[in-house]
Amino acid sequence: MTAAAVTLCFLLREVDGSREVLLGRKRTGFGRGKVVGIGGHLEAGETAAEAVCREVDEEVHVIVAPEDLIPAGTVDFVFPSRPEWNMFTTVFLTESWVGEPSESDEIVPQWYPAEDLPVAHMWADAEHWLPAMMNGRRMDVRVVLADDNESVAGVFHSDWADEAASASGPGRKWEPGL
Ligand SMILES: Nc1[nH]c(=O)nc2c1ncn2[C@H]1C[C@H](O)[C@@H](COP(=O)(O)OP(=O)(O)OP(=O)(O)O)O1
Protein backbone atom coordinates (compact mmCIF):
# COMPACT_ATOMS: atom_id res chain seq x y z
CA MET A 1 0.00 0.00 0.00
CA THR A 2 1.36 3.44 -0.92
CA ALA A 3 1.95 5.76 2.02
CA ALA A 4 0.02 9.04 2.00
CA ALA A 5 2.20 12.04 1.16
CA VAL A 6 2.24 14.54 4.00
CA THR A 7 4.50 17.38 5.09
CA LEU A 8 5.46 19.17 8.29
CA CYS A 9 7.06 22.53 9.04
CA PHE A 10 8.72 23.41 12.33
CA LEU A 11 8.94 27.16 12.97
CA LEU A 12 12.00 28.00 15.09
CA ARG A 13 12.64 31.24 16.97
CA GLU A 14 15.08 32.46 19.59
CA VAL A 15 13.79 34.08 22.79
CA ASP A 16 16.30 35.38 25.38
CA GLY A 17 19.00 33.19 23.90
CA SER A 18 16.88 30.01 23.96
CA ARG A 19 15.49 28.29 20.92
CA GLU A 20 11.77 27.57 20.72
CA VAL A 21 9.74 25.48 18.29
CA LEU A 22 6.10 25.91 17.30
CA LEU A 23 3.99 22.79 17.83
CA GLY A 24 0.26 22.49 18.26
CA ARG A 25 -2.43 20.39 19.93
CA LYS A 26 -4.44 18.72 17.22
CA ARG A 27 -8.18 19.21 17.54
CA THR A 28 -9.35 17.01 14.67
CA GLY A 29 -8.46 14.04 12.47
CA PHE A 30 -5.42 11.83 12.70
CA GLY A 31 -3.60 12.13 16.04
CA ARG A 32 -6.38 14.21 17.64
CA GLY A 33 -5.35 15.38 21.15
CA LYS A 34 -1.63 14.96 20.49
CA VAL A 35 0.92 17.76 20.29
CA VAL A 36 2.23 17.61 16.73
CA GLY A 37 4.09 19.55 14.08
CA ILE A 38 2.19 21.91 11.77
CA GLY A 39 1.34 20.38 8.39
CA GLY A 40 -0.80 17.84 6.60
CA HIS A 41 -1.57 16.06 3.34
CA LEU A 42 -0.37 17.18 -0.09
CA GLU A 43 -3.19 18.01 -2.47
CA ALA A 44 -3.14 16.81 -6.09
CA GLY A 45 -0.48 18.60 -8.11
CA GLU A 46 1.19 20.26 -5.11
CA THR A 47 4.84 20.00 -4.18
CA ALA A 48 5.65 19.38 -0.51
CA ALA A 49 6.90 22.97 -0.23
CA GLU A 50 3.64 24.38 -1.66
CA ALA A 51 1.57 22.13 0.57
CA VAL A 52 3.40 23.00 3.76
CA CYS A 53 3.10 26.76 3.13
CA ARG A 54 -0.66 26.29 2.54
CA GLU A 55 -1.06 24.11 5.66
CA VAL A 56 0.85 26.51 7.92
CA ASP A 57 -1.40 29.33 6.74
CA GLU A 58 -4.60 27.26 7.17
CA GLU A 59 -3.65 25.76 10.55
CA VAL A 60 -1.93 28.63 12.39
CA HIS A 61 -2.47 31.66 10.10
CA VAL A 62 1.20 32.35 9.46
CA ILE A 63 2.70 33.02 6.01
CA VAL A 64 5.91 31.22 5.13
CA ALA A 65 7.56 31.91 1.75
CA PRO A 66 8.72 28.76 -0.06
CA GLU A 67 12.26 30.17 -0.31
CA ASP A 68 12.42 30.42 3.49
CA LEU A 69 11.81 26.68 3.96
CA ILE A 70 14.87 24.74 5.12
CA PRO A 71 14.68 21.09 3.98
CA ALA A 72 15.32 18.80 6.95
CA GLY A 73 14.68 15.38 5.42
CA THR A 74 11.87 12.89 5.43
CA VAL A 75 10.14 10.59 7.91
CA ASP A 76 8.41 7.45 6.73
CA PHE A 77 5.84 6.43 9.34
CA VAL A 78 5.10 2.72 8.97
CA PHE A 79 2.12 1.20 10.80
CA PRO A 80 2.45 -2.56 10.06
CA SER A 81 -0.85 -3.43 11.68
CA ARG A 82 -2.70 -0.46 10.04
CA PRO A 83 -0.97 0.02 6.67
CA GLU A 84 -3.72 2.40 5.60
CA TRP A 85 -2.21 4.84 8.15
CA ASN A 86 1.27 4.79 6.55
CA MET A 87 2.53 8.31 5.81
CA PHE A 88 5.59 9.61 4.04
CA THR A 89 6.45 13.01 5.48
CA THR A 90 8.68 15.70 3.99
CA VAL A 91 10.01 17.83 6.84
CA PHE A 92 10.99 21.49 6.72
CA LEU A 93 12.27 24.01 9.26
CA THR A 94 11.94 27.77 8.98
CA GLU A 95 13.19 30.78 10.89
CA SER A 96 11.26 33.38 8.81
CA TRP A 97 7.55 34.01 8.50
CA VAL A 98 4.98 36.77 8.59
CA GLY A 99 2.30 36.94 11.27
CA GLU A 100 1.71 35.62 14.76
CA PRO A 101 0.53 32.02 15.12
CA SER A 102 -3.11 31.77 16.15
CA GLU A 103 -5.46 28.85 16.61
CA SER A 104 -7.74 27.32 14.00
CA ASP A 105 -10.40 24.60 14.03
CA GLU A 106 -7.57 22.09 13.48
CA ILE A 107 -4.72 23.16 15.77
CA VAL A 108 -4.02 25.13 18.95
CA PRO A 109 -0.44 26.35 18.43
CA GLN A 110 2.07 26.80 21.23
CA TRP A 111 5.80 27.59 21.47
CA TYR A 112 7.95 25.06 23.35
CA PRO A 113 11.65 25.12 24.32
CA ALA A 114 13.51 23.12 21.66
CA GLU A 115 15.48 21.45 24.47
CA ASP A 116 12.37 20.50 26.45
CA LEU A 117 9.77 19.09 24.07
CA PRO A 118 6.39 17.99 25.49
CA VAL A 119 7.22 14.38 24.64
CA ALA A 120 4.57 12.91 26.95
CA HIS A 121 1.92 14.52 24.74
CA MET A 122 3.53 13.81 21.36
CA TRP A 123 3.76 10.73 19.18
CA ALA A 124 6.28 8.45 20.96
CA ASP A 125 8.55 8.46 17.91
CA ALA A 126 8.96 12.26 17.77
CA GLU A 127 11.74 12.41 20.35
CA HIS A 128 13.81 10.09 18.17
CA TRP A 129 13.90 12.26 15.05
CA LEU A 130 12.71 15.81 15.85
CA PRO A 131 15.61 17.01 18.07
CA ALA A 132 18.17 15.80 15.53
CA MET A 133 16.40 17.54 12.63
CA MET A 134 15.99 20.77 14.64
CA ASN A 135 19.73 20.65 15.26
CA GLY A 136 20.36 20.68 11.52
CA ARG A 137 20.90 16.99 10.88
CA ARG A 138 19.45 16.25 7.44
CA MET A 139 18.36 12.69 6.97
CA ASP A 140 15.69 10.26 5.91
CA VAL A 141 14.11 8.39 8.82
CA ARG A 142 11.93 5.32 8.89
CA VAL A 143 9.80 4.85 12.01
CA VAL A 144 8.12 1.48 12.45
CA LEU A 145 5.25 1.57 14.95
CA ALA A 146 4.39 -1.39 17.18
CA ASP A 147 1.10 -3.27 16.99
CA ASP A 148 -0.52 -0.79 19.40
CA ASN A 149 0.09 1.89 16.70
CA GLU A 150 1.58 4.13 19.41
CA SER A 151 4.87 2.69 20.68
CA VAL A 152 7.98 2.54 18.56
CA ALA A 153 9.05 -0.87 17.25
CA GLY A 154 12.08 0.45 15.37
CA VAL A 155 13.79 3.56 14.04
CA PHE A 156 16.21 3.61 11.10
CA HIS A 157 17.98 6.53 9.48
CA SER A 158 20.04 7.41 6.46
CA ASP A 159 21.98 10.70 6.65
CA TRP A 160 22.05 12.95 3.58
CA ALA A 161 25.73 13.58 4.32
CA ASP A 162 26.45 9.88 3.97
CA GLU A 163 27.55 9.31 0.40
CA ALA A 164 25.95 5.88 0.27
CA ALA A 165 22.64 7.43 1.29
CA SER A 166 22.46 9.69 -1.72
CA ALA A 167 21.81 6.65 -3.89
CA SER A 168 18.26 5.48 -3.49
CA GLY A 169 17.45 1.84 -4.09
CA PRO A 170 19.21 -1.30 -2.97
CA GLY A 171 22.60 0.43 -2.41
CA ARG A 172 21.13 2.69 0.18
CA LYS A 173 22.51 2.32 3.68
CA TRP A 174 19.98 2.40 6.53
CA GLU A 175 21.36 2.51 10.08
CA PRO A 176 19.31 1.33 13.02
CA GLY A 177 18.54 3.83 15.79
CA LEU A 178 19.25 7.55 15.89
N1 LIG B 1 3.92 8.48 14.04
C2 LIG B 1 3.81 9.79 13.81
N3 LIG B 1 4.55 10.70 14.52
C4 LIG B 1 4.47 12.05 14.30
O5 LIG B 1 5.17 12.81 14.98
N6 LIG B 1 3.63 12.58 13.37
C7 LIG B 1 2.90 11.71 12.67
C8 LIG B 1 2.95 10.31 12.83
N9 LIG B 1 2.08 9.73 11.95
C10 LIG B 1 1.54 10.76 11.27
N11 LIG B 1 2.04 11.95 11.69
C12 LIG B 1 1.68 13.26 11.19
C13 LIG B 1 2.07 13.49 9.78
C14 LIG B 1 0.93 14.34 9.24
O15 LIG B 1 1.38 15.67 9.14
C16 LIG B 1 -0.17 14.27 10.26
C17 LIG B 1 -1.50 13.76 9.71
O18 LIG B 1 -1.90 14.58 8.67
P19 LIG B 1 -3.13 15.59 8.82
O20 LIG B 1 -2.89 16.46 10.01
O21 LIG B 1 -3.34 16.25 7.51
O22 LIG B 1 -4.27 14.55 9.11
P23 LIG B 1 -5.82 14.76 9.13
O24 LIG B 1 -6.42 13.45 9.48
O25 LIG B 1 -6.15 15.91 10.03
O26 LIG B 1 -6.10 15.05 7.61
P27 LIG B 1 -6.55 16.29 6.75
O28 LIG B 1 -7.81 15.82 6.13
O29 LIG B 1 -5.41 16.47 5.74
O30 LIG B 1 -6.69 17.48 7.67
O31 LIG B 1 0.25 13.36 11.25
30 CA to centre of ligand 1 in angstroms: 5
Kindly state the percentage of the chain with pLDDT values over 90.
88
pLDDT by residue (tens digit) across 154-171?
999 998 876 555 556 555
For residue 176, being part of any structural domain is answered with no
For the chain, state the CA radius of gyration.
16
Indicate the top mutation candidate among 6, 7, 148 to test ligand 1's pocket, ranked by most ligand atoms within 8 A of CB. 6
- Other beta carbons within 10 angstroms of residue 15's beta carbon come to 9
The full length of the chain comes to 178
Whether the Cβ atoms of residue 53 and residue 69 lie closer than 8 Å to each other: yes
pLDDT by residue (tens digit) across 81-99?
999 999 999 999 999 999 9
| Distance of alpha carbon 171 from alpha carbon 12, whole angstroms | 34
125 CA to centre of ligand 1 in angstroms: 13
Domain that holds residue 14: 4-169
For residue 177, being part of any structural domain is answered with no
For residue 129, being part of any structural domain is answered with yes
For residue 175, being part of any structural domain is answered with no
pLDDT by residue (tens digit) across 121-148?
999 999 999 999 999 999 999 999 999 9
User: What's the pLDDT score for residue 171?
Assistant: 59
Q: For residue 128, give the H/E element and its range.
A: helix 126-134
From the number of C-beta atoms within 10 Å of its C-beta (0-12, 13-18, 19+), residue 92 rates as: buried
For residue 178, being part of any structural domain is answered with no
| Distance of alpha carbon 90 from alpha carbon 51, whole angstroms | 10
For residue 127, being part of any structural domain is answered with yes
Q: 133: domain CATH number? A: 3.90.79.10
Indicate the top mutation candidate among 36, 81, 91 to test ligand 1's pocket, ranked by most ligand atoms within 8 A of CB. 36
| Number of domains the chain contains | 1
| Distance of alpha carbon 110 from alpha carbon 22, whole angstroms | 6
ipTM: 0.93
17 CA to centre of ligand 1 in angstroms: 31
**107-113 and 18-26 as β-strands: parallel, antiparallel, unpaired?**
antiparallel
Q: Which residue minimizes the CA distance to atom 14 of ligand 1?
A: 40
